[in-house]
Amino acid sequence: MQSRMNLGRRRRIPIWIMAVLGALVLLFMFEAYRLVMPFVSRNPLYHEVNFGQTVIDNWEYEGENEEGYLEFYNPTTGGHSMLPPSAKLFGADGKWVVIEHADAASLTYAEPLESAPPYWYLIMLAMIGGGFWWMMHRRRALRKKRMYLRGTRKETIHVPTVKRRPKRFRAKSSRRLW
């Protein structure tokens, strides 16, 4: 006859660990897809415009010229701007965007905060979480250290702040209580 072995209570993985692992898996899948197909932009934060569409306010993308320079035109002010093919930033009217990819017919760009790769945001969140964990861990460690430093309370008689003189040098009271 076989006896059952008591395994005790099985522990589940905490929900926050499962959430972090799920986010890591999704990020890994996103980055793996980007590595397999580098010229296909699947980042939902990127914006793609074609020839004649606006990029910043009224500034329109006018494609590339013969030399490969990117051209932008503002029809309201008549402004014209050209960027070299290696340019990664376009700024106009006090705003700017990060150019991700450009060719003769289309331009892919992102707002400044949206242009960072997703894993950078994950690294920043991990650093904030690690700093928070370290702060809480140090707080607990210091609390334990303080408890050991205090020691046990000694039961002593309260001595007033005035220094006590030996009995032979004490002044005698002039008042009698009886």
| DSSP states along 63-103 | EE-TT--EEEEETTTTEEEEE-TT--EEEETTEEEEEEEE-
Q: 49 and 107 in contact (C-beta within 8 Å)?
A: yes
Q: Which residue has the tokens 């980007």?
A: 34
pLDDT of residue 172: 62
pLDDT of residue 78: 87
Q: What is the mean pLDDT of residues 137-163?
A: 65
pLDDT band of residue 128 (cuts 50, 70, 90) is very high
pLDDT of residue 176: 56
pLDDT at 19 over 80: yes
Q: 51 and 108 in contact (C-beta within 8 Å)?
A: no
Position with higher pLDDT, 92 vs 152 = 92
Q: What pTM, to 2 d.p., does this model score?
A: 0.47
> Which tokens go with 73?
């035109």
Share the mean pLDDT of the chain.
Answer: 77
Furthest C-alpha separation in the chain? 121
Contacts of 48 (CB under 8 A, 6+ apart): 41, 106, 107, 108
The angle formed by the CA atoms of residues 133, 137 and 142, to the nearest 5 degrees, is: 150
pLDDT of residue 173: 60
**pLDDT tens sequence across 29-38:** 877 777 776 6
pLDDT of residue 174: 60
pLDDT of residue 100: 85
Q: What is the mean pLDDT of residues 105-127?
A: 81
